[in-house]
Structure 1
Amino acid sequence: MSTHHLASPWRGTTPTRALIVGSAAVFTDMLLHGLAVPVLPLLPAVVQAGPAATGILFSSYAVAMIIATLFAGRVVDRYGPKTPLLIGLVSLAAATLLFATGGPYWLLLLARLAQGVAGGMSWVAALSLIAATTSFAKRGQAMGIALSSLTLGVLIGPPLAGFLVEHFGTASPFLFAAGVALVDGILRVVLVRGTPRVTDDAGGPLTVLRVPGSLSVVLGVAVGAAVLSGVEPVLPVHLGASSLTIGLLFGLTALAAVIANPFVGRYVTTASPRTLIGSGVIAVTVALLVIGFATTLWQTSIGLVLLGISSALLLAPTTTLIGEQGSRSAPPTLGGSYSLYNLAYAAGLAGGPLFTGFAVQQTGFTSAMTMTAAILAVLGGASLIGIPARTSADTQTGAHA
């Protein structure tokens, strides 16, 4: 890795404060995402719209996130991270209040778009804030901690939403999210002072994408993101279970990923990434087939657990590899690596539900899961072609579940 000057310290915004704000921002965004999973597909307005419209509703978050991410980079460059952090906060507050209405469909779609804007602004600003206040040598570790907070939001969201719906109604998860967003907003206002900028990390996502092998890594990240997002909008209606049951099932998936991630991460620097990612491709194919042909709840549970394990097998190696690709770019960059990672992840979040929603409406649930398994197997296999044969222990940046 090339030597860089340390990021200039910014009075009042220490690396610790930046890490707290950044981690809280991405946690809050993914908490709301998780809270919506067992609730949105079962709302009357969404059920009446059909599976295809449900897929559009779920994928619209990622589409808005991608667009906002592209603009967020320019806003951060001009004004620093604090402005987009506050823009993201306003968008998140609007999304939670709109979700609480429960419909009509177009209003929920507007809420989902606002949530995507919040995610795009907050993610880029949060990671940029960490990059601007943390030395390049310690930045990878800090980024890994921030990205790991995503897992907590994904894990807590679905079962918590199910519990709240069962006891307090469909609006309660989003009102709860509004309260969490308020606390998050206080952290953003109080802890972020001034407009710190990155001084030693000039490369962007396109810089990293030009490095040989990066396209394969990006494809692996997108497949890993599409694994679960493709099931989220269609499984609740297919099962016809309560919100609490749906929340627990998806919570089980996230728990499986959390448990599997450290085990996979242990072998990231010793085993071939192709072996790990290839195992993930096989696991996701089997998982989707099990879910598609399941006739009992315990069979579906097995498929979802396997889905969580496959997510760890796909994302732990690619998260490490994307950081290494950034270290090989000219100029070397970690910020550009994670920007590219976020774009690839959002692309997977958009493509998964969009495809499964239309496929379920046209062919039925079992056929849709079979087709999704086949497509992800092909894309995952294609990603193995350019994946580096080995990762480097000295550039490992952590894992993301």
Structure 2
Amino acid sequence: MGTAFAAANLGVLIGPPLSGLLDQHAGPAAPFVFGTVLVALDAAGRAFLLPEVEAERGPRLPFRQLMANPVIRLFAGAMALGSGLWALLESTLPLDMDQRLGLSASKIGLCFAASALAHTFTSPLMGRLSDRIGRVKVLRMGLLLAVILLPLPVLLPRPWMVVLAMMGLGSTASFIMSPCSPAVADQVERQGSSSFASAFSILNLAYSVGLMVGPLVGGVLVQGLGLPVALSLCGLTFGGYLLATRRFTV
């Protein structure tokens, strides 16, 4: 599951660097045209290349019962925080990198590419680590790292330092999101069900909520308090969630 989410999140993380390159070398419309082509290819692949999938076997758990599980809620919230983290950074950091560090669109994109690379390599590792030491322990490590690392990209004075901080945040996303799907699957199995698709839809919903809410909250905080303070406050949000995991041992 860690490997699968590494591929899924790679698309989200690699979008900014690719868009920066396309914008700089082919114009501002190029990222949108390229995205349209990708959507068309994806639709064609889903229509003609995917095999038929057998229906779920075993008792099916209603959505309400899945949402009543505290562990599923915990990791759904973690998934929303993880996706919101990147949505926040993508909507606020490029302007700071341009104005404060004088980076071009392509160089800003490369900073995000570094974080995407770090996330891609560490996500499967964090999935395996959660198999060995427990899902919540790995999640806690990620939440603590987010508190420490989130403000750094706007505080460090050199571009190479910012790149290192972005790579750290890419790894942090692996700590937070990689244990989520296995943890939810564990809960479905413990209830003697095979309603994995229904359970994973909760994670997909949480992921989408994070992508939607992250830029909105970040924009309001940045406009009112400035970027360093806004990111610091968002880091404290991860700290608060860390405290909420104290009663969980899975």
TM-score (norm 2): 0.87
Structure 1 letter corresponding to 2:139? I
Indicate the residue corresponding to 1:234 in structure 2. 92
Rounded to whole Å, the distance in 2 between the matches of 1:145 and 1:372 is 27
Match for 2:57 among 197, 200, 220?
200
Structure 1 letter corresponding to 2:55? V
Structure 1 letter corresponding to 2:65? T
Match for 2:11 among 153, 163, 171?
153
Instruction: Tell me by how many angstroms 1:265 deviates.
Output: 2.0
Indicate the residue corresponding to 1:309 in structure 2. 171
5+ residue gaps, structure 1, are 1-140, 391-401
Rounded to whole Å, the distance in 2 between the matches of 1:204 and 1:345 is 20
Rounded to whole Å, the distance in 2 between the matches of 1:274 and 1:182 is 38
1:253–1:308 CA contact under 8 A, matched in 2: yes
Deviation string, structure 1 residues 314-338 (Cα, Å, up to 9, x no partner): 1112221011112234644101210
1:290-329 → structure 2 map (5 Å cutoff): 290-329=152-191
Percent identity of paired positions between Structure 1 and Structure 2? 26
1:212–1:326 CA distance, 2 compared to 1 (3 A): same
Deviation string, structure 1 residues 78-123 (Cα, Å, up to 9, x no partner): xxxxxxxxxxxxxxxxxxxxxxxxxxxxxxxxxxxxxxxxxxxxxx
Structure 1 letter corresponding to 2:246? I
Deviation string, structure 1 residues 362-400 (Cα, Å, up to 9, x no partner): 111111111111122112331x1343x24xxxxxxxxxx
1:329–1:347 CA distance, 2 compared to 1 (3 A): farther
Instruction: Tell me by how many angstroms 1:172 deviates.
Output: 0.6
Rounded to whole Å, the distance in 1 between the matches of 2:62 and 2:105 is 41
1:329–1:205 CA distance, 2 compared to 1 (3 A): farther
Asked if residue 259 in structure 1 is aligned to residue 84 in structure 2, the reply is no
List 4+ stretches of structure 1 deviating above 4 A: 144-148
1:264–1:313 CA contact under 8 A, matched in 2: yes
1:185–1:343 CA distance, 2 compared to 1 (3 A): closer
Bigger relative contact order, structure 1 or 2 (CA pairs below 8 A, ≥6 apart):
2
Rounded to whole Å, the distance in 1 between the matches of 2:193 and 2:47 is 33
1:287–1:303 CA contact under 8 A, matched in 2: yes
1:314–1:192 CA distance, 2 compared to 1 (3 A): closer
Rounded to whole Å, the distance in 2 between the matches of 1:245 and 1:254 is 14
3-state secondary structure, aligned to 1:277: helix
Indicate the residue corresponding to 2:226 in structure 1. 364
1:11-30 → structure 2 map (5 Å cutoff): none
3-state secondary structure, aligned to 2:55: coil
Deviation string, structure 1 residues 290-333 (Cα, Å, up to 9, x no partner): 12322222222222111111111111122210111122346441
3-state secondary structure, aligned to 2:131: coil
Indicate the residue corresponding to 1:385 in structure 2. 246
Match for 1:279 among 131, 141, 148?
141
1:175–1:212 CA distance, 2 compared to 1 (3 A): closer
Rounded to whole Å, the distance in 2 between the matches of 1:330 and 1:174 is 45
TM-score (norm 1): 0.56
Match for 1:175 among 33, 38, 51?
33
**Greater C-alpha radius of gyration:** 1
Structure 2 letter corresponding to 1:333? S
1:280–1:311 CA contact under 8 A, matched in 2: yes
Question: What do you get for the CA RMSD once the two structures are aligned?
Answer: 2.4
1:284–1:306 CA contact under 8 A, matched in 2: no
- Identify the structure with the greater helix proportion: 2
1:283–1:310 CA contact under 8 A, matched in 2: yes
- Alignment coverage as a number of residue pairs: 245
